[in-house]
Amino acid sequence: AKPDPLRIMISGAPASGKGTQCELITKKYGLVHIAAGDLLRAEVAAGSENGKRAKEHMEKGQLVPDEITVMMVKEQLLQSDSLENGWLLDGYPRSLSQATALQEFGLQADLFILLEVPEEILVERVVGRRLDPVTGRIYHLKYSPPETEEIAARLTQRFDDTEEKVKLRLRTHHQNVEAVLSMYKDITIKVNGAAPKEDVFAQIDNALSKLLEQRKVTSGTL
Ligand code: AP5
């Protein structure tokens, strides 16, 4: 039988590198990337009622209420693509209630990746981050600069990427992280996220390939 697809969660403070690692992971492992922050920003951009409410919280660096976030993420996790190819859940769950909701839907992850980055690095990463609206790629003016002048000219900045707002986002992160971690102790790997992005990916890649090997052995395909 075909081994079950991977179901991975990735977590870490604001700007710890979740989105960057997700680009690399999906490229190699073909998982469906479900990013709570991206889903919320799409609602904000669409100007929907949920988007308007979400933006009020995002502006303050607070968690968007569960009635908006939980359903949005659940819907993506239950799409046939996610069920068939596996998923990579980015920025969710961020509270005990979000973690409990997943459990109640019967959705379980195989691995919980925690990116650890010292706080002084995070602020610099946020302030220098830029996004390419055409490709969706994440850049950093210093650490991951755009490849061409053409890309450089079209880069945008997120509305919550200021030093003041990242401090509020960090506070929210600290208020919730321990409770979330306690739910996933048995499946957590801690990764040093302060290293260059290729080195961070090497640590994650190693853990994922081991997991896949185990899968193949238990499903009898190896
Ligand atoms: P979200 O969009 O998830 O933001 P975040 O958690 O603050 O994380 P970021 O997207 O800022 O950073 P990242 O870890 O992806 O880092 P990146 O790879 O871009 O959430 C935004 C808001 O939405 C929240 O504040 C909240 O209001 C709401 N929300 C989201 N999820 C929610 C939920 N579940 N419930 C309720 N509300 C929710 O990297 C950052 C920069 O660093 C980039 O410029 C990158 O190029 C650079 N970089 C990355 N890795 C490295 C490296 N190894 N070395 C050097 N530079 C690097």
What's the gap in Å between 16 CA and the centre of ligand 1? Answer: 6
CB-based contacts of 19, cutoff 8 Å, min separation 6? 35, 90, 138
Say whether 171 is catalytic.
no
pLDDT along the chain (222 residues), means of 10: 89 97 97 97 96 97 97 96 97 96 93 96 95 96 97 96 94 95 96 97 97 86 68
What's the gap in Å between 80 CA and the centre of ligand 1? Answer: 26
CA 44, CA 55: separation in Å to the nearest integer?
6
CA 107, CA 168: separation in Å to the nearest integer?
30
Token pair recorded at residue 132 = 């390419």
Parallel, antiparallel or unpaired: strands 138-140 and 188-192: unpaired
Give tens-digit pLDDT for 153-206. Answer: 999 999 999 999 999 999 999 999 999 999 999 999 999 999 999 999 999 999
Residue nearest to atom 43 of ligand 1 (CA): 129
